[in-house]
Chains A and B, each alone.
Chain A
Amino acid sequence: MADDKDVLRDVWFGRIPACFTLSPEETTEREAEPYYLLLPRVSYLTLVTDKVKKHFLRVMKTEDVEEMWFEYEGTPLKWHYPIGVLFDLHASNTALPWNVTVHFKNFPERDLLHCSSNSVIEAHFMSCIKEADALKHKSQVINDMQKKDHKQLWMGLQNDKFDQFWAMNRKLMEYPTEEGGFRYIPFRIYQTTSDRPFIQKLFRPVSPEGHTLTLGDLLKELFPAAICAEDEPKRFQVMIHGIEPLLETPIQWLSEHLSHPDNFLHISIIPAPSD
Chain B
Amino acid sequence: MPSSLLWAVDVYGRVYSLSTAGQQWEHCRDAHLEFKRVTAVQQCCWSIACDHNIYLYVHASEVPIRYQEETYENQRWNPVDGFSDRLLPSDRWQWSDITGLKHQPLGDFQLPSENWEWEADWYIDENFGGEPTEKGGWTYAIDFPATYTKDKKWNSCVRRRRWIRYRRYKAQDTWVKIPSEQTESLPDPFNDITCGGWEITEEPRGCLALWAVSLQGKVRTQFFIQSCRGSVWEEVPVPGEVVQISCGPGDLVWAVLWEGHLLVREGVGRDCLKGSSWVTVESPSPGVGVVHVAVGVNVVWAVTKDHKVWFRRGVNSHNPCGSGWIGMVGEMVMINVGLSDQVWAIGFEDRAVYFRQGVTASELSGKAWKVVSVPRDSERSHSSASASSLQSAGCFFGGEVRLQSQASMLSDADAETERAGGEVVPTPEIGDAPKPRIPKVTSDSFISELVSDREGQISRRDVPPAGPSIPEEDHPEKELEDRASPAQVLSPSQSGGVDPQWSNVDLEEAQTHLTSGPGGDAAETSSLSSVATYNLALEEPYGLDEPPKWAWVSGGGCLVECHTQLNWFNSSTSTALNSSMQAMSLSITPAQTAAWRKQIFEQLSERSKREMENFMHYEQAIEQSVWVKKGTMQWWRDWKPHKWVDVQFALEQFSGVEGNKDGILFIYYTFNDEKKYLHMFINEVTILVPVLNDSKHTFAIYTAERTKQRWPMRLAAATELEMHDWLALLSVSCCDSRGIQGPPSKQAIWSVTCKGDIFVSEPTKELEASPYPTPCAQMFWRQVGGHLRIIESNSLGVVWGIGYDHTAWVHTGGYGGGFFQGLASSTDNIYTQTDVKSVYIYENQRWNPVTGYTNRGLPTDRYMWSNASGLKECTKNNTKPPSPNWTWVSDWTIDYAVPGGTDREGWQYAADFPASYHGNKTLKDFVRRRRWARKCKLTTTGPWQEVPPIPLSDITILPCGPKSTVEQVSLWAISNKGDILCRLDTSQTPGSSWLHVGTDQPFKSISIGAVHQVWAIAKDGSAFYRGSVSAQNPAGDCWYHIPSPTGQKLKQVSVGRTSVYTVDENGNLWYRHGVTPSYPQGSSWEHISNNVRKVSVGPLDQVWVIADKVQGSHSLSCGTVCRRLGVLPMEPKGHSWDYGIGGGWDHITVRGNAMEAPRIVMPSLTDNQTATRPLQTSNQPEMNGNPVGC
Using a CB–CB distance below 8 Å, which chain A residues touch chain B?
A: 1-8, 10-11, 13-17, 36-40, 43, 48-49, 51, 96-97, 155, 158-161, 163-164, 166-167, 170, 177-181, 206-212, 241-246, 248-250, 252-253, 257-258
Contacts and interface: CB of A to CB of B under 8 A. Distances in A.
Contacts of B580: 177, 179-181, 206, 212, 252
A243 B603 contact: yes
B496 to A, nearest CB: 13
A212 B24 CA distance: 23
B607 A160 contact: no
A111 to B, nearest CB: 23
Contacts of A15: 611-612, 615, 620
B599 interface: yes
Contact of B611 (A36, A242, A246): A242
B43 to A, nearest CB: 32
Interface string B574-613: 1111111011000000001011111111011111101110
Contacts of B607: 10, 14, 241-243
A212 B583 contact: yes
B597 A244 contact: no
B618 A38 contact: yes
Contacts of A248: 592, 595-596
Nearest to A39: B621
Interface string B384-398: 000000001111011
B516 interface: no
B236 interface: no
Task: Name, among B592, B615, B621, B622, the residue most crowded by chain A CB atoms within 10 Å (CB to CB).
Answer: B621
Contacts, number: 176
Given A210-B571, A249-B599, 17 more contacts: A5-B827, A8-B823, A15-B620, A17-B618, A155-B627, A159-B622, A159-B624, A163-B653, A170-B823, A177-B577, A209-B398, A210-B573, A210-B578, A212-B394, A242-B607, A246-B595, A248-B595
A258 to B, nearest CB: 8
A168 to B, nearest CB: 9
B611 A14 contact: yes
Contacts of A38: 612, 615, 618-621
A14 B600 contact: no
Interface string B728-767: 0100100010000010000000000000000000000000
B822 interface: yes
Which applies to chain A's interface (DSSP): helix, strand, loop or mixed? mixed
Interface of B: 392-395, 397-398, 498, 533, 571-580, 582-583, 592, 594-601, 603-608, 610-612, 614-615, 618-622, 624-625, 627, 629, 653, 725, 729, 732, 736, 742, 821-823, 826-828
B453 to A, nearest CB: 23
Contacts of A155: 627
B211 to A, nearest CB: 39
9 contacts: A14-B608, A96-B614, A96-B615, A163-B653, A180-B576, A242-B607, A243-B604, A246-B596, A249-B597
Contacts of B606: 243
B20 to A, nearest CB: 17
A49 B621 contact: yes
Given A37-B619, A159-B627, A245 B599 contact: yes
A229 to B, nearest CB: 18
A141 to B, nearest CB: 14
A179 B397 CA distance: 17
Which applies to chain B's interface (DSSP): helix, strand, loop or mixed? helix
Task: Name, among A3, A7, A166, A246, the residue most crowded by chain B CB atoms within 10 Å (CB to CB).
Answer: A3
B828 A209 contact: no
Contacts of A51: 619, 621
Given A36-B618, A211-B575, A249 B729 contact: no
Nearest to A16: B611
Given A96-B614, A161-B627, A212-B580, A245 B823 contact: no
A49 B610 CA distance: 22
B111 to A, nearest CB: 52
A5 B498 contact: no
Contacts of B594: 1
A15 B604 CA distance: 12
A243 B600 contact: yes
A48 B732 CA distance: 28
B576 A178 contact: yes
Contacts of A244: 603
Contacts of B618: 17, 36-38, 97
Contacts of B572: 208-210
Contacts of A166: 822-823
A209 B605 CA distance: 36
Contacts of B619: 36-38, 51
Contacts of A208: 498, 533, 572
Given A164-B627, A210-B574, A248-B596, A17 B615 contact: yes
Given A3-B742, A43-B621, A206 B576 contact: yes
A163 B823 contact: yes
B582 A167 contact: no
A163 B603 CA distance: 23
A38 B619 CA distance: 6
Nearest to A97: B615
